[in-house]
């Protein structure tokens, strides 16, 4: 019996979600909706994650700029399982059915032994505590802006941004070509990211491998992002009212360099309602959208 996949595809450019507008005389924030002020792609910037699990690769996105959303998990793989047992409704992104190991057929929803949830393996200094985790990266190079004097109220200083994640809709049943089918959706599923771990590196190019980061110079005054949500809950349902759950928020002067927010795959949990009707075989998929947005004022404590 096939169960589902949760994957991550790139959305580039300005978001259609609600945004924070930056007044002309803000602190150091790069404003939204102004590609020139960011020296690249305008903020807000988005990238997406599809979350899925089945029963029965990603390069960087095209975002550019002084402040950019550089990477999100391309896929969250909750495995392939024999059947859905309402007594064991939880699945983790390392392909396991929590408390019900006899139900695990393959580590991947694609019926392969190798789980597809990406994990970090990079020896850039400062990333030691996030090795082997799946991750999201925000690159903050605002201190290196060269046109600050030409942009009133925009100074060469890090911080004043927020990272969010939300679902675009329910868990959808998909066909073998990845198309959403007209029936069989699973409503009221929930995704949680537990024990968020943060890291920061000045070896930006070593982490990203992108040419746009080759000229980054170490910021000796860099401060880590202080506001990070330890446990994040994402209902798998359409929500157009806001940007979703807060992942992290950089206060004025924080975050210079590359900021990584990471989770052990076993700490990313997909929970299905006990009342769910699961087809067999079937594959299910949901999409997540990650949004990086500029903040208009210093975040409160």
pLDDT at position 300 over 70: no
Mean pLDDT of the chain: 86
In a domain, 136, yes or no: yes
Residue 15 banded pLDDT, cuts 50, 70, 90: very low
For residue 12, tell me if it sits in a domain: yes
> Which domain does 234 fall in, by range?
4-294
Which sign, positive or negative, has the C-alpha torsion 230, 115, 260, 30? negative
Is the pTM above the cut of 0.75? yes
Domain for residue 300, yes or no?
no
- What's residue 57's pLDDT? 44
58: pLDDT strictly greater than 70 = no
Decide if 243 contacts 161 (C-beta within 8 A).
no
Within a domain: 127: yes
Q: Is residue 301 part of a domain?
A: no
Q: What is the pLDDT of residue 299?
A: 45
Tell me, what's the pLDDT at 212? Answer: 96
Asked whether residue 34 is domain-assigned, the answer is yes
Give per-residue pLDDT as tens, 20-29.
Answer: 223 334 455 7
In this prediction, residue 279 carries a pLDDT of: 87
Is residue 299, in this structure, part of any structural domain at all? no
Three-point CA angle 196, 198, 202, nearest 5°: 160
Q: Give residue 178's pLDDT.
A: 85
Report the number of distinct structural domains present in the chain. 1
Mean pLDDT of 28-53: 86
pLDDT in tens, 159-178: 999 999 999 999 999 988 88
Q: Strand order in 257-263's β-sheet? A: 67-71, 134-140, 257-263, 197-201
Q: Give the least confident one: 87-91, 200-204, 276-280.
A: 276-280
- Predicted confidence at residue 222, as pLDDT, reads 97
Confidence of residue 240 (pLDDT cuts 50, 70, 90): low
pLDDT tens track for 67-77: 999 999 999 99
């Amino acid at each position: 019996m096939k169960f589902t996949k949760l994957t991550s595809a790139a959305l580039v450019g300005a978001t259609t979600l609600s945004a924070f507008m930056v007044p002309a005389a803000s602190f150091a924030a790069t404003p939204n909706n102004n590609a020139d002020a960011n020296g690249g792609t305008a903020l807000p910037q988005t990238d997406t994650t599809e979350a899925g699990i089945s029963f029965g690769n990603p390069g960087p996105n095209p975002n550019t700029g002084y402040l950019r959303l550089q990477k999100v998990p391309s896929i969250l793989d909750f495995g392939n399982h024999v059947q859905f047992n309402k007594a064991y409704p939880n699945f983790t992104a390392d392909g396991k059915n929590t408390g019900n190991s006899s139900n695990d057929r393959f580590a991947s929803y694609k019926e392969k032994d190798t789980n597809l949830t990406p994990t970090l393996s990079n020896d850039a200094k400062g990333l030691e505590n996030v090795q082997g985790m799946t991750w999201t990266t925000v690159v903050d190079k605002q201190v290196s802006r060269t046109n600050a004097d030409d942009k009133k109220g925009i100074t060469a200083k890090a911080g004043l941004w927020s990272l969010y994640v939300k679902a675009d809709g329910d868990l959808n049943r998909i066909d073998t070509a990845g198309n959403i089918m007209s029936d069989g959706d699973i409503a009221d599923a929930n995704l949680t990211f537990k024990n968020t771990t943060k890291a920061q590196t000045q070896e930006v190019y070593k982490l990203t491998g992108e040419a746009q980061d080759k000229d980054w110079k170490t910021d000796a005054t860099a401060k880590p992002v202080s506001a990070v949500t330890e446990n994040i809950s994402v209902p798998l349902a359409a929500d157009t009212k806001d940007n979703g759950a807060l992942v992290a928020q950089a206060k004025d002067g924080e975050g210079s360099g590359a900021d990584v927010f990471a989770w052990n795959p076993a700490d990313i949990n997909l929970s299905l309602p006990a009342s769910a009707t699961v087809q067999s075989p079937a594959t299910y998929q949901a999409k997540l959208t990650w949004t990086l947005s500029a903040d208009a004022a210093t975040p409160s404590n």
